[in-house]
Homo-oligomer: A and B are copies of this chain.
Amino acid sequence: MGESTAGGNRAAWREKLRVIIFEADTDAGKAFDVALLIAIVLSITAVMAESVAWYRVRYRPALDVIEWGFTIIFTIEYILRLVSVPRATTYARSFFGIVDLLAILPTYLSVLFPGSESLLVIRALRLLRIFRVFKLGRFLGEADILTSALRRSRQRITVFLGTVLILVTILGAVMYLIEGEENGFTSIPRAVYWAVITMTTVGYGDIVPRTMMGQTLAAFVMVIGYSILAVPTGIVTAEIVEAATSKASAITTRACPHCLTEGHLPQARFCKDCGSELEHYESEEM
């Protein structure tokens, strides 16, 4: 019985920790999350500063201390997360569980492979927690709309990207034949790289056609790319328009108190089927 109480106490202690670390509704939980976000931003800034020669030369020891300091803090945090959560493996396999692990590994790896510290910027992904901390549920809702629009566009975009991939391969090979190695198109992969640069309208200018025939083909590729740009835009726009429309026309889940019908419009005041008065619909949007 004493053991059972001890187990209960331990569980309570873990639950308390879990609320602080994983939830943002209590004062302690919010303070923890804000401190965490500040730590993440500071650690990324330190990683970036270390990559700049001017700072590295002057402040290397200090920056190394900061890097190790944040890594140790984040390692403790990771262990606490594993401990406090009911099922450690579920957390460890979740998106944020993997990101939290990847955010500390590079420092330890840098002992073996110098230079891998730069991968610490993967910590930036942890900043996605910001939406939860500031109760930005509405933003998460928006992110959901965008994500679901992109998810539903996935198949069309796969077809589109596959076609573009085949197109740039062939265009690159033709350009390699036309321009040849003396004009910078030193291989087909490099010519394909040029085709991607041109078709996406990035246009670095590090590889450019020099022959009249090559420039004519390039102009053709540009216009194609320009028109093709319309396709993903059209796909995503159609999805967002559809999502917004369906949201606008059927968002209320009010049930008629009399006949229990659902699907009333936001502005409806009476049941469309039996005429009973509906409760007032308050928009969740601002």
Beta-carbon contact of B202 and A222 below 8 Å = yes
A248 in the interface, Cβ–Cβ < 8 Å? yes
In the assembled complex, A148 has its CB within 8 A of some CB on chain B: no
The bracket for how many chain A residues form the interface is: 35 or more
Is A204 positioned at the interface, with any CB of B under 8 Å from its CB? Answer: yes
Distance from A142 Cβ to chain B, minimum over Cβ atoms (Å)? 5
A198 interfacial by beta-carbon distance below 8 Å: yes
Is the CB–CB distance between A159 and B187 below 8 Å? no
Q: Is the pair B189, A44 in contact by a Cβ cutoff of 8 Å?
A: no
Give complex CA distance A158, B230 in Å. 15
Judge whether A4 is part of the interface by a CB distance below 8 angstroms.
Answer: no
A18-41 Cβ-contact flags toward B at 8 Å (1 or 0):
000000000000000000000000
Q: Please judge, given known A-B contacts A215-B193, A248-B242, whether A142 and B159 are in contact too, CB under 8 Å.
A: yes
A189 (CB) vs chain B CBs: closest residue = B48
A48 and B156 contact, CB distance less than 8 A: no
Choose the segment among A63-71, A74-82, A83-91, A120-128 that binds chain B (4+ C-beta atoms closer than 8 Å): A120-128
Q: Once the chains are docked, how many angstroms separate the CA of A206 from the CA of B229?
A: 23
Contact with B along A269-281 (1 / 0, CB 8 A): 0000000000000
Number of copies: 4
Instruction: Evaluate whether A173 and B142 lie within 8 angstroms (CB atoms) in the complex, with A51-B189, A223-B161, A237-B234 already known.
Output: no
Q: Chain B residues with Cβ under 8 A from A174's Cβ? A: 118-119
Partner of A198, one of B149, B159, B202: B202
Residues of A within 8 A of B (CB): 44, 47-48, 51-53, 115-116, 118-122, 124-125, 127-128, 130-131, 138-139, 142-143, 145-146, 149-150, 155-164, 166, 169-170, 172-174, 176-177, 181, 186-190, 192-193, 196-198, 200-206, 208, 212, 215-216, 218-219, 222-223, 225-227, 229-245, 248
Instruction: Return 25 A-B CB contacts under 8 Å, by A number.
Output: A44-B169, A51-B188, A52-B186, A53-B187, A115-B177, A119-B177, A121-B170, A121-B188, A125-B166, A127-B166, A128-B162, A142-B156, A145-B156, A146-B156, A146-B235, A192-B219, A193-B215, A193-B218, A201-B226, A202-B225, A206-B208, A230-B236, A230-B237, A239-B244, A242-B248
